[in-house]
Amino acid sequence: MQLFNIFMDNLPSILSGIMVTIKLSIISLLVAVVLGIVFGIFRLSKIKILEGIAVGYLYIIRGTPLMVQALFIYFGIAPLIIPRSDPFICGVIALSLNAGAYMSEIFRAGILAVDFGQMEASRSLGLGYFKTMQKVILPQAVKIMIPSIINQFIVTMKDTSILTVISIRELTASGQIIVARNFKPLETYGVIAVMYFLLITALSIFSSYVERRLHRGHKSN
């Protein structure tokens, strides 16, 4: 009952935090997909400079914590470009760069899962490397990668809680503000945990549904 009362008393603040969390996750994942495609292709490229850029990006992002990346972007890089930088934009950049590194490995694995003979056949018909990727390889690879992409979306949504360090009022930050008002951390963070649990569970169920559909489609083929 106490949890329900806290939820109802602070409903606008909690809903606002949920919306910011979802918006951060969706925008960041869309940008991360683009980064994943680009750097995934770079990783597979025979051009050493492109491969080196992709490997460097991957090692830097995976070798440093997201919190440090967010602080570095917000307090270090952003003020050099925009005097009054927007925390939301900085948060999107940090999440996108972080998720993009993992997405690049997802795309690389998905591309490698497609029979290499299709690349050779397309090239023999006169299609260039990037055209073959766009028209032949990526459409097939995406079907393989969809469950992993959804899983990365789940990870990114949980990672949004770290962005409280740069003053983004997402779900966790909303909980901190509520605690500052009611001095009930146990009950308040219990409500916040339930909200995260419901969001992540819904995404997990959706991911399982997509995997079953893809598996059935693969078996029917």
Return d(Cα 133, Cα 32) in angstroms, integer. Answer: 18
Which letter does DSSP use for residue 82 in this model?
A: -
Q: Is the dihedral of CA 125, 126, 129, 130 positive or negative?
A: negative
Number of domains, the chain? 1
Among 29, 159, 35, 212, smallest CA distance to 107 is for: 35
What was the pLDDT predicted at 220? 53
Among 98, 108, 110, smallest CA distance to 28 is for: 98
Among 197, 103, 105, 199, smallest CA distance to 152 is for: 103
pLDDT in tens, 2-37: 778 888 899 999 999 999 999 999 999 999 999 998
Give the CATH number of the domain where residue 113 resides.
1.10.3720.10
Q: What is the mean pLDDT of residues 106-114?
A: 88
Return d(Cα 133, Cα 12) in angstroms, integer. Answer: 46
Say yes or no to pLDDT of 42 above 80: yes
Mean pLDDT, the chain, integer:
88
- Owning domain of residue 86: 2-220
Residue 213 structure tokens: 């559909």
Q: What is the mean pLDDT of residues 57-78?
A: 94
Say yes or no to pLDDT of 135 above 90: no
What was the pLDDT predicted at 218? 55
Residue 117 structure tokens: 């003979």
Of the candidate ranges 73-87, 129-143, 162-176, the one whose mean pLDDT is the lowest? 129-143
Return d(Cα 139, Cα 137) in angstroms, integer. Answer: 6
